[in-house]
Amino acid sequence: MSSERKGCGLIAIPLGLILFFAAFYVVWINEGRVDLSVIAAESVPVTGESYDAENDGKLVALSGTIEADQFLGDDPYLKPISAIQLNRNAEMYAWEESGDDEEGYSYRLTWTSSPENSDGFDQPAGHQNPPMEVRSRILKVDDAQIGRYTVLPNDIIFGQVEDLPISEGMVSGGRVSENYFYQGNASPQAPEIGDIRLSYSAFAADQFATVFGEQQGDRVVSWTDGESIIYRGYALDRQGGIDALRTEYLTALWGVRAASLAMFYIGLMMVLNPLTSILGYIPILGNVGKRMIAFAAFVVAFVVWLVTLIIAILFHNLVALIVVLLLVGGVGYAVWFMRHREKSPA
């Protein structure tokens, strides 16, 4: 066991406590998340064909063909193409570690966009990852137009960024295989540690799109009410964009809910780590005891998470809070009335 892992074991309890209590904050903040689709539903539909000064300062949904005067490339790898946004996903062929101190560690070579620092491996000898020289990045054109309006792609969050099919003629050097560009001498059939491969996705130009933002003259820029910000682009009509915002909201909401439950559970397991380690030395109770502790920790974590979630939902939803308080008050009054009636003389 490396000295680094021994150190991690010593601080497992305080780290677990921090993780456990941080989960309360994560739940609270997440339930206060604003559903941007509700705001976008109030947007004014606008087409790029005409300009209406009455919409200045308002949240609009600008729809039409999105165009750009410049092409977008990723020098020195991908030649310029007609796109509003271009995403480069870089991966390196590297060692990946899995396992734990009790069961041991195993290593495998895989393509990854975030290779681990091999200095922290339990067995760094023979499993060295070199520094990753090419990283993922996002490129955008400076300006784009939808009819008579100008939009600013560098500030827009685009949805429906599609995978970009690439061919030999689109790249410089290297080779293309199964929509990956292998840099330099990297081989798709026999990769070596440190080899780099690239793939791309793009929000294409010259397609129908809708941009949600604030109209300022002949420009549509970022809209804000002081708390929420909307500047989104979709290869959809206005209603499709609203639906996409709703899907993004629900995905993020439930994703963070699941993450907060994991924080409660992992935090508890870190706090209980000394106990599970002790049980590991008892032949009869070892595995059974660890499973029982893990199950009990999950039950406790789930109950704490659920109660915290319900409270956060109620306090962030005024109508729901009022309804619950009225129901509780009504039930309490009914119980009091029945008891008072039973005690009263006929």
- Domain spans of the chain? 3-32+254-343, 36-236
Q: How far apart are CA 187 and CA 178, in angstroms?
A: 12
pLDDT recorded at residue 344:
59
pLDDT recorded at residue 17:
92
Average pLDDT of every residue of the chain: 87
Q: How far apart are CA 309 and CA 315, in angstroms?
A: 10
pLDDT (mean) for 209-216: 97
pLDDT (mean) for 142-163: 94
| pLDDT digit string, tens, across residues 32-60 | 999 999 999 999 999 988 888 899 999 99
| pLDDT digit string, tens, across residues 121-132 | 888 888 999 999
Q: How far apart are CA 278 and CA 140, in angstroms?
A: 55
Residue 343 pLDDT level (bands cut at 50, 70, 90): low
